[in-house]
Amino acid sequence: MWDYAAGRTIDNKRGINWPNPRYRRNMLQEHLLQKNTEGESEVIRRKIEITMSINTQGVDFSAYATQYSHNLHPDNNLTFLLSPLPFELPQAIEEHLELYSQGIVAFYQACDEMLRVLPKFSKWGKILTHNRPEWLLQRAKEEDNIAHIFLRPDFILTEDGVATAEIETSPFGLALALFLNNAYAAQGLETIPNAKFIDYFIAEVMGDNIIGTLCFMITAHTQQYRGQFQYLTQLLKNKGINVCIAMSDDINVKDGKCFVHGERLDVIYRGFYLYESINDEHIASILQSDLKILPGYKSHLEEKAIMAMFFDDELEAIYRAKIGYYYDVLYDIFPKTYILSDKPPNDLGLRRWDDLADMPRKKRCFVLKISGFSYLGAWSRGVIFLNTLSQQQCRKVIQTALASDDVFVIQEFKKGCRLQQEYYDFQDSTIKTMHGRVRFTPYLSAKTGQLLTAKTTMCEHTDYIHASTNSINSPIKYILSNFALKCHRQTLNVGG
């Protein structure tokens, strides 16, 4: 018998009033719901606390100057959106990162070896020395090894895994990755340990000359990243390194030596691109000085065209011999890339590249890019998604590129899959979720492929995934795979 007023069952035989099972169940659900709500509120509070703490650390860190700062909330001290947690990579990508990393390093080393022996007037000799001054080519020949500290593949996360949009060697973004990993680690979150990364950097850059003077040289073209170099400079000063930042105009060259405000430099780390020396005699004179300059002079290793070199049928046997099974690994993660001035491959059914304009947009999945060694080759200026253009526009941009003196590549467009990540909305003072596409950028030792640091960038409403005021930039959750542990034990000289 059910007592509706009391919400109890009356046991007539025993004279005991038992709570009705359904009623007990409802009470329990309400109790758990309240507890769950309280728990969720505590989680959200903690997430907001984390983002606010990281934002506070951003007061003294300028990732990059932007003309779109008006898009940012005045309380946001950084130039992008903040997530309360590091990004967690899909397990399959984490498991394959060792193969990808070591394959890319093997590929770069193979390209370097091949370009040493290729005649200057061969097809690839012409492409990868195009517009270079003779002194730069000579300096590149004098370098025995790849004089880069790291390689940074731009991995787009796709339904099938990753697609390597390009491979960077410039330092822009390095300090941002370090800042993010340090800032989130300070909140007790698992990120890639950076504690000894600076020791690694010092050993690679300074070598035996630990008491020398290091200068991060920037130009008018790259001064928007001064804040990142200031962050790196402070980390190095904390280790006792004599280091400065200088605009190219502040560096004086005399008798093959370089000085900043009267102080002689020993090493210049390039915060600029080699092509800037073409139209700037002063930058050219600095590059031709007796200083140790890093990254080195091998401008061909900074070209997008070397990914097209990978897909040259005439070179396949050479690549397979040099990099072995890594060839098949890279074939799966490199989008097919071609030199625009070449004839289109037969499997596309095109007589010439501007016939792409006749394809429906959904099938016109290609990106047109300037290969490099050009002002337009850096950042987004030289990237055009052909599937976003009308037929007339597509034909025009291809024909214009073909008539240009610059080297262009055309690359299959691999669309990123949609993932989700939380971020803090300063306007509403709450945690929201972005559904966007992700670029994963690990920094790898150019010698061994060891993982040095990493970050991710998420964007929505665009196929061009880059750091912007509307993007989320975050570290990755520390990879606990054997590969990561091995990398850090070797790179950071940690035993055990």
CA dist 58 and 54 (Å) reads 6
Where in 69-149 does DSSP place strands (E)? none
Q: What percent of the chain has pLDDT over 70?
A: 86
Bridge partner residues of 186 (DSSP) = none
Q: Where do the structural domains in the chain lie, given as residue ranges?
A: 2-60, 91-306+416-491, 336-412
- Residues constituting the chain: 496
pLDDT top residue among 64 and 327? 327
Looking at residue 19, its pLDDT comes to 45
Q: Are strands 451-459 and 430-445 parallel, antiparallel or unpaired?
A: antiparallel
Q: Is the pLDDT reported for residue 191 higher than 80? A: yes
Q: What is the pLDDT of residues 242-251, one digit of tens each?
A: 999 999 999 9
For residue 299, give every residue at least 6 positions away whose Cβ sits within 8 Å of its Cβ, in sequence order, or none.
Answer: 132, 136, 140, 274, 275, 372, 373
Q: Which CATH number fits domain 91-306+416-491: 3.60.150.10, 3.40.50.11280, 3.30.200.20, 3.30.465.10?
A: 3.40.50.11280
Q: Could you identify the residue written with the tokens 């980390």?
A: 235
Residue 136 · residue 299 · CB < 8 Å: yes
Q: How would residue 21 be classed by pLDDT, with cut points 50, 70 and 90?
A: very low
Amino acid at 473: N
Q: 3-17, 157-171, 259-273, 428-442: lowest mean pLDDT where?
A: 3-17
Looking at residue 39, its pLDDT comes to 64
For residue 382, give every residue at least 6 positions away whose Cβ sits within 8 Å of its Cβ, in sequence order, or none.
Answer: 369, 370, 374, 376
pLDDT top residue among 13 and 102? 102
Q: How would residue 468 be classed by pLDDT, with cut points 50, 70 and 90?
A: confident
Q: Is the pLDDT reported for residue 485 higher than 50? A: no
Assigned fold of 336-412:
Dna Ligase; domain 1 (3.30.1490)
Q: The whole model's pTM is what? A: 0.87
Q: Could you identify the residue written with the tokens 């731009």?
A: 154
Looking at residue 13, its pLDDT comes to 40
Q: Is the pLDDT reported for residue 11 higher than 50? A: no
Q: Is the pLDDT reported for residue 23 higher than 70? A: no
Looking at residue 22, its pLDDT comes to 45
Q: Is the pLDDT reported for residue 488 higher than 80? A: no
Q: 69-73, 96-100, 285-289, 374-378: lowest mean pLDDT where?
A: 374-378
pLDDT top residue among 309 and 9? 309
Identify which of 94, 69, 78, 98 has the alpha carbon closest to the alpha carbon of residue 184: 78
**Arithmetic mean of pLDDT, 297-326:** 94
Other beta carbons less than 10 A from residue 439's beta carbon:
23
Q: Is the pLDDT reported for residue 55 higher than 70? A: yes
Q: Is the pLDDT reported for residue 262 higher than 70? A: yes
**Arithmetic mean of pLDDT, 200-209:** 89
Q: Could you identify the residue written with the tokens 């993932």?
A: 419
pLDDT top residue among 3 and 272? 272
**Arithmetic mean of pLDDT, 352-380:** 87
Q: Is the pLDDT reported for residue 401 higher than 70? A: yes
- Please provide the average confidence, as pLDDT, over all residues in the chain: 86
Q: Is the pLDDT reported for residue 357 higher than 60? A: yes
Q: How would residue 143 be classed by pLDDT, with cut points 50, 70 and 90?
A: confident
Q: How would residue 62 be classed by pLDDT, with cut points 50, 70 and 90?
A: confident
Q: Is the pLDDT reported for residue 25 higher than 80? A: no
The C-alpha angle 421, 458, 164, rounded to 5 degrees, equals 125
CA dist 353 and 309 (Å) reads 18
Residue 365 · residue 412 · CB < 8 Å: yes
Q: Could you identify the residue written with the tokens 């060839």?
A: 327
Separation in Å, CA 76 to CA 56, 63, 73, 149, 427: 9, 12, 5, 32, 10
DSSP category for residue 150 = E
Identify which of 161, 181, 168 has the alpha carbon closest to the alpha carbon of residue 97: 161
Q: How would residue 196 be classed by pLDDT, with cut points 50, 70 and 90?
A: confident
Q: How would residue 59 be classed by pLDDT, with cut points 50, 70 and 90?
A: confident
CA dist 406 and 372 (Å) reads 8
